[in-house]
Amino acid sequence: MKTVTVSGLLAKKQAGEKITALTAYDASFAKMFDEQGIDAMLIGDSLGMVLQGEADTLPVTVEDIAYHTRAVRRGTQRAFVLADMPFMSYSTPPYAYRNAATLMAAGASMVKLEGGSWLAETVTGLVQRGVPVCAHLGLTPQSVHVFGGFKVQGREQDKADTLLKEALALQEAGAQLLVLECVPAALGKAVADKLTIPVIGIGAGKDTDGQILVMHDMFGISANYMPKFSKNYLAETGDMRKAVKKYIDDVHAGEFPSAAHSFE
């Protein structure tokens, strides 16, 4: 199959084709996901929780992400590979440039940053220096202590309006993808409709341009809890490869996420 690029992901949005993504942390799972036809894989700072057993993502380091990015890249032939920028690794533009260079050298094709319009200068600077950027809005796990827990964002109209404005600002700054997490389904649709770049949802309803799940959640093996927005595809299929294929098929068909996996 053809290698997935950022322009290919944009073409999918423009054609109305859903984008499928999963987190990945090693070569073996990356190879499996790649062979089943996943479009994109994210080396998420979620590894702090699902691999390291931490209570949140904050202890994850750039070195952690780089290590797992190298592993995923070795197992990947065609899927698009994104890497998370960990907590405080992009607190200033020069610091972001240095840490993004580390992740790109490890094998990422794009880096992901959490935060709103305050990141515009950083996003523009990264893109000018040859580093593609995925923005992340809604529930941004690195801000868990500011939010007071893992809570749905954008339920109030003023906050929804602010989120949409920040999404547009990040797009204007040069972001080429947006991950939108834990927001009402109606807001997920509004953001995807307004932006020209692909919007990948996780707990953002079925009308975003694509979906991403943490692989441990999709397999039902997370150590802590199963989020409302996830689905245990392994329990349904009894086989890891079939689980990945069913997830991909359900996203393409618009059957996942259902209302049961979305927020009002």
Whether 223 and 202 have beta carbons less than 8 Å apart is answered as no
Q: What pLDDT band is residue 151 in, cutting at 50, 70 and 90?
A: confident
User: Residue 66's pLDDT is what?
Assistant: 98
Whether 238 and 160 have beta carbons less than 8 Å apart is answered as no
User: Which residue, 38, 46, 31, is CA-closest to 80?
Assistant: 38
Residue 114 marked ligand-binding = yes
User: Which residue, 98, 147, 157, is CA-closest to 122?
Assistant: 98
Whether 214 and 44 have beta carbons less than 8 Å apart is answered as yes
Q: 255 an active-site residue?
A: no
Residue, of 19 and 140, whose pLDDT is higher: 19
Whether 58 and 48 have beta carbons less than 8 Å apart is answered as yes
**Catalytic residue selected from 156, 181, 236, 255:** 181
Residue 112 marked ligand-binding = yes
Q: Beta strand pairing status for 133-138 and 210-213?
A: unpaired
Angle at 28 between CA 27 and CA 33, to 5 degrees: 95
**What 8-state DSSP symbol labels residue 261?**
G
What are the extents of the domains in the chain?
Answer: 6-261
Q: Count of CB atoms within 10 A of residue 225's CB?
A: 9
User: Got the DSSP string for 108-172?
Assistant: -SEEEEE-SGGGHHHHHHHHHTT--EEEEEES-GGGHHHHTSS-----SHHHHHHHHHHHHHHHH
92-131: per-residue pLDDT in tens?
A: 999 999 999 999 999 999 999 999 999 999 999 999 999 9
| 64 pLDDT above the threshold of 80 | yes
What percentage of the chain has pLDDT greater than the value 70? 98
CA–CA dist 249, 129 (Å, integer) = 37
For residue 22, the cross-strand partners are 41, 213
Angle between helices 62-74 and 93-106 (to 10 degrees): 30
CA–CA dist 230, 204 (Å, integer) = 11
Domain 6-261 superfamily per CATH: Phosphoenolpyruvate-binding domains (3.20.20.60)
Residue 207 marked ligand-binding = no
76-99: per-residue pLDDT in tens?
A: 999 999 999 999 999 999 999 999
User: Residue 255's pLDDT is what?
Assistant: 97
User: Which residue, 59, 76, 62, is CA-closest to 24?
Assistant: 76
Angle between helices 157-173 and 120-128 (to 10 degrees): 20
Q: What pLDDT band is residue 51 in, cutting at 50, 70 and 90?
A: very high
Q: H-type helices in 184-261, by residue range?
A: 185-194, 215-218, 233-237, 240-253
Please give the structure tokens belonging to residue 170.
């990040």
As a whole number, mean pLDDT of residues 189-207 equals 98
CA–CA dist 34, 125 (Å, integer) = 31
214-245: per-residue pLDDT in tens?
A: 999 999 998 667 889 999 999 999 999 999 99
Q: In angstroms, how far is CA 23 from the centroid of its own chain?
A: 8
Residue 46 marked ligand-binding = yes
Q: What pLDDT band is residue 149 in, cutting at 50, 70 and 90?
A: low
